[in-house]
Amino acid sequence: MDVIYFLVQQTMFFAIPLLIVALGGMFSERSGVVNIALEGIMIMGAFASISFIAIFEDAIHGQLLLILAILVAGIVGIIFSLLHAYASVNMKADQVISGTALNLFAPAFAIFVARMVQGIQQVQFKDQFHIAKVPLLGDIPVIGPLLFQNAYLTTYIGFGILIIAAIVLYKTKFGLRLRACGEHPQAADSVGINVYKIRYAGVMISGMLGGIGGLVFVIPTSTNFNATVAGYGFLALAVLIFGQWKPWRIFYSALFFGIMKTLAAAYSGIPFIRDLPIPNEVYKMIPYIATLIVLAFSSKKSQAPKASGQPYDKGGR
């Protein structure tokens, strides 16, 4: 059972940031704006929030510092995503080019600022957020070791975001309008819905979740930030497509990719896999091979929002 507990705990470390960022991408694309800038948004959110932790870790301690850092990551993600929203909605620019530009800008900006401020590009921080065992819940048989031991607060925040995202998308007026703008913006406009505002909101939500996802990725996996999130923003796009732009399917997709990343990163801690006569390099390639295979088989059946990626022109209605 210890191996199973280890696998589940490690999977959560990789799956939760993928889940949060892919849900962010879902809000943007459901509104009609393709957001491939998720990688850059993650980097900016992680850079700002990890820097915040590094500055205040001696003055503020524990989970309060993590919560404040999450707020910083979300706000910076929103601000950075506004560049993509303005280019996509107001300027009617090619959304892929706009997203690519932001992805190129973010790591360069993080490295430049880090070097200017502290002389090196790595931002160091102390990991004071690990939860060895949640009181009471950690003692529940089976479920306790799986979900409430060796965990981070970000895991539970990820589950909360999933539930809220599903409710907002399917049970609220805003969610209905968001989906309408992503499918038939002209029809939505004809009944008085401001397509531009809804698309701005979708991109800003994706920015907030993308920024938070950047922090959630770094916290359990490292004690320094080096202006990269290891391609997680692009992997989140694969999760989004595999999840068919639907919250719960995105969750299952994130779990699948999380397991693949766990096998690649922690195979040496799993006895029956470690003993197999397979080179280490093969394990490292597992997530990317899985991504190619999954997208090859699922892309034909993918049902993206019909107006996703299409600039909306009110005068062309």
| Residuewise pLDDT in 10s, the chain (317 residues) | 777 888 888 889 989 999 999 999 999 999 999 999 999 999 999 999 999 999 999 898 889 999 999 999 999 999 999 999 999 999 988 999 999 999 999 999 999 999 999 888 899 999 889 999 888 888 888 888 888 988 999 999 999 999 999 999 999 999 999 999 999 999 999 899 999 999 999 999 999 999 999 999 999 888 889 999 988 899 999 899 989 999 999 999 999 988 888 888 777 777 777 777 777 778 778 888 888 887 787 777 778 888 888 888 776 65
- From the list 133, 164, 169, the residue with the least C-alpha distance to 151 is 133
pTM of the model: 0.93
In whole angstroms, what is the distance from residue 142 CA to residue 144 CA? Answer: 5
